Amino acid sequence: MKMWKIYALLTTVMFIWGFNLPLLKYLLLYVDPVTMTAFRILLASVSVFIILSGFKLIRMPTKNEWLYIVGGALLNVVLHHYFLNMGLSRTTGTNAGLILGTGPVLTVISVSLILRNYPSKIQWVGVLLGVIGVSSVVLAGGGGIAGLALGDLFVFIAILAQVLSFLIISKAAKTIDPRLLTAYMMLIGSAMLFIISLIQEPGEIKAFATVPPMFWLGFAASGIIGTAVGHMLYNYSVGKVGPSKAAIFINFNTMFSLLGSVLFLGEIITIRHLLGLIFIIAGVILGSGAAEDLWKKRRLQNEKIT
């Protein structure tokens, strides 16, 4: 697949994830986070298996692949979703957004240290611009980053766990289709989260019997589109372009979340949001390597002409 198609896929995923945020806030009004997340991810896992069965991509993993699957499930599903939910209930949205915005930087640093795959100077500039853009957006609410709390630590653990899972997915993608890897990770991760929910939120499963009909529509949309399709496409992209380039697009998640909040939660866009959008777009173009790829293609074309 051509690189621009992968970039389009990643942008689509960020759009899906961004609009999934206000939907999740609605779902959490009726069911506690761990219980709701366990069943939402289970629905996502079943959905991915059904989709992959249509393409005849389902097979049993090897022993080595099971190690990647369990490790990915623990980091990408259990730890990420558990600490993110616990953190959001204990800190402000501004602080959480800023901490989640460090994902691309953490990914680039982790890849450099662990995989010895060093980004170019232009990509580092893109990472920096992305951080500035995300910071501008999340701080536009006026809450600042003062008063770090336990919730902030939980959110940081959540994004760190997700970043480390990208490295596992990148390694596993050499032998197993990342989309199939996603299905198995979600299946095992949902089972782990369900066990945790029984301990932390005993009896909460009964809440599903009292939710309104609109809940089920949102639950299906979040599980199938937001989680199943979103993670399947993102993990596929990680396998194609690597964790560093894919993670740069997470910057878009902040902007799409903001847009979703404006449309569905009535929040207001300010000048700082628009300036942040400019920095984020510039950061994605430079940090993903898209600008370098375009420059190299033009240089080769000019060399052929001359």
Verdict on whether the full-model pTM lies above 0.95: no
- Within 10 angstroms of residue 63's Cβ, the number of other Cβ atoms is 6
Q: Chain-wide mean pLDDT for the chain?
A: 80
Confidence at residue 202, expressed as pLDDT on a 0 to 100 scale: 95
How far apart are alpha carbons 20 and 25 in whole angstroms? 9
Look at the alpha carbons of 203, 206, 208, 212 in this order and tell me if their dihedral is positive or negative.
Answer: negative
Terminal Cα distance for the chain, rounded: 30
Residue 145 in tokens:
């980053």
Residue 164 in tokens:
């480390």
Confidence at residue 66, expressed as pLDDT on a 0 to 100 scale: 96
Q: Are 136 and 275 in contact (CB under 8 A)?
A: yes
Question: DSSP per residue over 172-220, as a string?
Answer: HTTTS-HHHHHHHHHHHHHHHHHHHHHHHSTTGGGGGGG--HHHHHHHH
Q: Torsions phi, psi of 212, nearest 5?
A: -75, 165
How far apart are alpha carbons 36 and 62 in whole angstroms? 31
> Cα–Cα distances in Å, from 278 out to 104, 129, 131, 285?
17, 9, 12, 11
How far apart are alpha carbons 63 and 44 in whole angstroms? 24
Query: What interhelical angle do 250-265 and 3-27 show, nearest 10?
Result: 40
Confidence at residue 20, expressed as pLDDT on a 0 to 100 scale: 82
Residues in the chain with pLDDT values less than 70: 1, 88-119, 134-149, 152, 244, 247, 251, 254, 258, 261, 264-269, 273, 277, 280, 284-285, 287-294, 297, 303-306
